[in-house]
């Protein structure tokens, strides 16, 4: 079967939501090359596409267990995106107080404790589902037991963050915004912000800052965007 090229240099593994699983599957079918610390997944096609200065260079691959729950990630809307871009003109991250957060995310509820409750409830539900699968498919008990343990661990980690989350405005990039989503990973002081999507180009990267609720300020940030779709040619002259 002919491979499907990817339009940008980096994309990443998706998480639980169904539309992200579909994105991950399409990207995985694209004749990709996994190249250690150089990138998540890469092709030569992306090198010819116009890049944005916010996109970072080579970086290590994050782990699935370090993924930030989607309830803590808020892309800045069109109404305030230019203001957010201006704030991040000379910095990758900027801490926000409650007033500035409300200004950048008008009408959006940003209760950190509610975010954690949603994360815990989902993780506990996934753990319960894995337990049900053990009873349904006992021959795969070890696999589902490991999954249940992982979800329980995620719930416990979220519970320990109670009272510790703060808002940070962070650089982000998108290609096809309507067909994808941001995934954010955090490990100690390192943060990964990646937008994965589906779409047919050519298309340029667009700056889309995100507000992310974290327990500490990241000191090292990696930003990328990727898309999968039919074979296309890069813009002429680029």
Per-residue pLDDT reduced to its tens digit, 221-234: 999 888 876 544 55
pTM for the full predicted model? 0.75
CA distance 125 to 111: 21
CA distance 81 to 194: 18
β-strands 190-198, 220-228 pairing: parallel
Averaged confidence pLDDT in the chain: 79
pLDDT single digits (tens) 18-68: 444 343 433 333 322 222 223 333 333 343 356 789 988 767 778 888 999
What pLDDT sits at residue 36?
A: 27
Distance of CA 106 to CAs 57, 80, 85, 155, 198, Å?
33, 8, 16, 29, 28
Reply yes or no on whether the pLDDT at 238 is more than 80.
Answer: no
CA distance 176 to 186: 24
Share of the chain above pLDDT 90, in %: 55
For residues 191-198, give the mean pLDDT.
Answer: 91
177, 205 in Cβ contact below 8 A? Answer: no
What pLDDT sits at residue 2?
A: 42
Beta carbons within 10 angstroms of residue 38's beta carbon:
15
pLDDT single digits (tens) 117-148: 999 999 999 999 998 998 899 899 999 999 99
Is the backbone of residue 36 left (phi > 0), alpha (psi -120 to 50) or beta?
left
What pLDDT sits at residue 198?
A: 85
What pLDDT sits at residue 12?
A: 35
Strand blocks (E) in the chain: 73-75, 93-96, 166-170, 173-174, 181-187, 190-198, 206-207, 210-214, 220-228
pLDDT single digits (tens) 96-105: 999 999 999 9
Q: How confident is the model at residue 180 (pLDDT cuts 50, 70, 90)?
A: confident
Beta carbons within 10 angstroms of residue 2's beta carbon:
6
């Amino acid at each position: 079967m002919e491979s499907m090229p990817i339009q940008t240099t980096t994309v990443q593994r998706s998480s639980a939501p169904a539309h992200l699983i579909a994105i991950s599957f399409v990207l995985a079918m694209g004749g990709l090359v996994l190249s250690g610390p150089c990138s998540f997944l890469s092709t030569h096609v992306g090198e010819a596409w116009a890049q944005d200065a916010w996109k970072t260079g080579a970086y290590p691959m994050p782990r699935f267990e370090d993924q930030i729950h989607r309830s803590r990630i808020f892309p800045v809307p069109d109404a305030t995106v230019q203001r957010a871009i201006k704030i991040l003109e000379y910095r990758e991250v900027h801490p926000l107080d409650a007033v500035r957060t409300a200004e950048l995310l008008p009408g959006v509820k940003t209760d950190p404790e509610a975010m954690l409750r949603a994360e815990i409830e989902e993780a506990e539900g996934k753990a319960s589902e894995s337990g049900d699968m053990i009873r349904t498919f006992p021959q795969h008990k070890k696999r589902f037991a490991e999954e249940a343990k992982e979800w329980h661990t995620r719930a416990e980690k979220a519970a320990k963050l109670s009272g510790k989350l703060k808002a940070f405005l962070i650089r982000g990039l998108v290609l096809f915004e309507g067909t994808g989503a941001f995934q954010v990973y955090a490990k100690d002081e390192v943060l990964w912000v990646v937008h994965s999507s589906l779409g047919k180009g050519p298309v340029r990267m667009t700056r889309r800052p995100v507000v992310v609720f974290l327990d500490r300020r990241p000191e090292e940030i990696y930003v990328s965007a990727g898309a999968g779709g039919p074979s296309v040619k890069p813009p002429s002259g680029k």
